[in-house]
Structure 1
Amino acid sequence: MEVKTIVTVMALMLLAACSSSPQEDSAQPTALVTLATVGRQAVGETIRLYGVADSGPGERADLFAPIEARFVAIDAPVGSAVRQGQAIVRLTPGPTTMLYMAKARSDAQAANAAYARAVRMRGDGLMSDADVETARAAKAGAEATVASLTGRSLTLRAPRAGYVESITGTPGDLFPAGTSVVTISGTGAIRARFGIDPALVGNLHIGTAIAIRTAGSSRVIPARLSAVDPMVDPQTKLATAYADLPAGPAFRPGETLTGEAKMQGSGDALAIPYAALLDDAGQPFVFVVIKGTAHRRDIVTGSSDGAVIAVARGLSSGDKVVVEGGTALDDGMRVRLR
């Protein structure tokens, strides 16, 4: 009787195990995805540029700190339209200038006293006319030094009507004498000036089409590059590209611009839709589906025009990559097609 019971129990356990397998299989997580086939095609490249509206060199005027001075206030910020003579920034004498002023005033007082003494002694016949003239010249020189330090206006004003293109520094900064503080542009032609990675200089040429947008606007302004300067600015480490802006839209010098130049691709590149591309801490990857299962593939990417992206390594022509639903996948997950 006991043997029959044991056999019965084992049979029931086997039956339960067999009946549970389909349930476990059906319980595996799956994801709905859309696939695309990896193929070969010419892939263009979109180069994004950042810059400002800029007047031509003949339209510019710089305003300099006449003496060592401290930045006090801005009366007309960058982008402001200004009339001739309008105040733009205000400066005040810096600490070294204040010392020079104090010394110059002291020297002038001493020179005045020496001149007065020379005049008195000449009247008493104790000094010659040449001695008096020497004292007078010293007095005039000392007074001229005081005037040069105290008589200059420290309010920088527009030399002509135009726009404030740039202002160096912020209130509180100290400028050495001769520092360019303000750049004023005229009301003539305005161009776009973009900083570009020196490695991209060879991809941009005069006549290259560029779509320009102003900051905070979705309006696209078509233009073409008018010059490409490969010389690298020592401060920004960038080369420069210029585009002539059309006469219709209104631009102000100093206004922030972005540009997109679309370069035509050459050759036959392995490519995938940009939507298939995923990123893991800087490592690009995609999911490739093989027999209903998603497998992660790390890839090396190339140029992109925003719609498709070239793949240098990691995929083969004919692979099926996930273009929709990839963010919900894990490596090895089963998938179903939408």
Structure 2
Amino acid sequence: MRLMYLCSAVLLSSLSACGKAPLDTVIEPTALVSIGVVELGDIASIVPSFGVVEYDPQFLHNINSEIEAHVTDLQVQAGSSVKKGQVLLKLKPSESAKIDIERARRDASTARANAARVRRLKDDGLASNADIEQARSQAEDMQSLADSLQQRSNTLSEVRSPEDAIIESILVESGGIVAPGSTLLRLSIGPHLRARLNLELEDAAVIELGSPVRLNGLDNSGLSIESNLTAKDQRVDPATRMVTAYAELPPHSTLLSGQAVRAEITTLVHSKVPLIPVNSVFYDERGQYVFISENDTAVLRRVTTGVSNKSTIEVTTGLTAGERIIVDAAAVLTDGMKTRLKDVLAEPQQ
């Protein structure tokens, strides 16, 4: 009887041991990833900038007032196109200008009378030939001044455009008085536009004249213009601490004067270099690294990089064309971690 109990206990213990799972079994984590291939390609180094479109000063023409005058009729608006000979505004001499003309006439008359008096003194032996020449020259100068003022007054009534042009700016108002020599209007002879761009100091140092520039309007119009850098100021603006650069716009550009633009300036192009997505590169205290895929395993690889844009980055060391690189889920990976492709297609059912 005692032997039977002992056998039963051994049997139960054996059955119990057979039903327990091993306590040291660990499920190995697996990451779902997407795989890309390192490809050779071209990548450009782009310097961003912002600016505004303006008329090229080389083709601006100022229309000035010769004498003080009243603006009686302003017939154009800023930004409008005008034809050669078209009336832009009308003026009339101010009271002060009329006084100046009358004074010049009197001075000319006095000078002529003085020249005649010197000639009579010469006949009496009281003046020399030099005195006569001086008096004659003075009389001619005074008469020329009077004639000039009168002529400018006569032609002042209608101010016309000298060429087909665009009114860049109007500096007077109808009914106002303008001083002698002041600018009335500024014309752009032809549609010559340029973009004035602001550059950070470190960017200005690497940009060269002739660099390709893509100009995009900031008004969500989708307008885009290809141009080249044509000039760069060698001074730093003391207010903004930036450098100004210029890009000429092609004729009949869709961008308009005064329009704000974003510029992408190409400084250099690296050709046939290894390229990978920007978001596949990570950083730690030792530098940059990526994960490559080997036998369904993530392998950490140290790299160095070069030129980049919004989506792509150049790899200068650490990778070669054709290698398989993990392009997402790398943030949760560790070196040696098992991986499984996200986009593996199911086998078709028979």
Aligned to 1:49: 49
How far is the alpha carbon of 1:242 from its aligned partner?
0.7
User: Which shows bigger deviation, 271-280 or 208-217?
Assistant: 271-280
SS in 2 for 1:265: strand
Matched AA of 1:4: L
Aligned to 1:246: 250
Aligned to 2:291: 287
The equivalent position to 2:168 in structure 1, one of 162, 168, 172, is: 162
Aligned to 1:4: 11
* Structure 1 residues 251 and 267, CA gap change in structure 2 (3 angstroms): closer
CA contact (8 A) 2:216 2:222 kept: yes
How far is the alpha carbon of 1:298 from its aligned partner?
7.5
SS in 1 for 2:269: coil
In structure 1, what is the Cα distance between the partners aligned to 2:293 and 2:274?
Answer: 18
SS in 2 for 1:237: coil
Matched AA of 2:56: G
How far is the alpha carbon of 1:330 from its aligned partner?
3.7
How far is the alpha carbon of 1:9 from its aligned partner?
1.6
Query: Which ranges of structure 2 fall in alignment gaps of 5 or more residues?
Result: 1-6, 63-77, 82-87, 90-165, 171-184, 344-350
CA contact (8 A) 2:198 2:243 kept: yes
Superposed counterparts of 1:20-169, under 5 Å:
24-25=27-28, 28-37=29-38, 43-57=43-57, 59=60, 81=79, 161-163=167-169
CA contact (8 A) 1:163 1:253 kept: no
Matched AA of 2:212: A
Aligned to 2:67: none
CA contact (8 A) 2:33 2:326 kept: no
The equivalent position to 1:17 in structure 2, one of 14, 22, 32, is: 22
CA contact (8 A) 1:223 1:243 kept: yes
* Structure 1 residues 218 and 301, CA gap change in structure 2 (3 angstroms): farther
Q: Which TM-score applies when normalising by structure 2?
A: 0.49
Query: Which ranges of structure 1 fall in alignment gaps of 5 or more residues?
Result: 62-79, 86-159, 165-183
Aligned to 1:303: 307
Matched AA of 1:5: L
In structure 2, what is the Cα distance between the partners aligned to 1:209 and 1:185?
Answer: 31
Q: Which TM-score applies when normalising by structure 1?
A: 0.50
In structure 2, what is the Cα distance between the partners aligned to 1:262 and 1:304?
Answer: 12
In structure 2, what is the Cα distance between the partners aligned to 1:30 and 1:7?
Answer: 40
Aligned to 2:262: 258
Kindly indicate whether residue 226 of structure 2 is the aligned counterpart of residue 207 of structure 1.
no
How far is the alpha carbon of 1:211 from its aligned partner?
1.4
CA contact (8 A) 2:194 2:249 kept: yes
How far is the alpha carbon of 1:234 from its aligned partner?
2.0
* Structure 1 residues 234 and 270, CA gap change in structure 2 (3 angstroms): farther
* Structure 1 residues 49 and 297, CA gap change in structure 2 (3 angstroms): farther
How far is the alpha carbon of 1:335 from its aligned partner?
1.9
Superposed counterparts of 1:227-242, under 5 Å:
227-242=231-246
Matched AA of 1:253: S
Matched AA of 2:291: F
* Structure 1 residues 327 and 217, CA gap change in structure 2 (3 angstroms): farther
* Structure 1 residues 328 and 309, CA gap change in structure 2 (3 angstroms): closer
SS in 2 for 1:17: coil
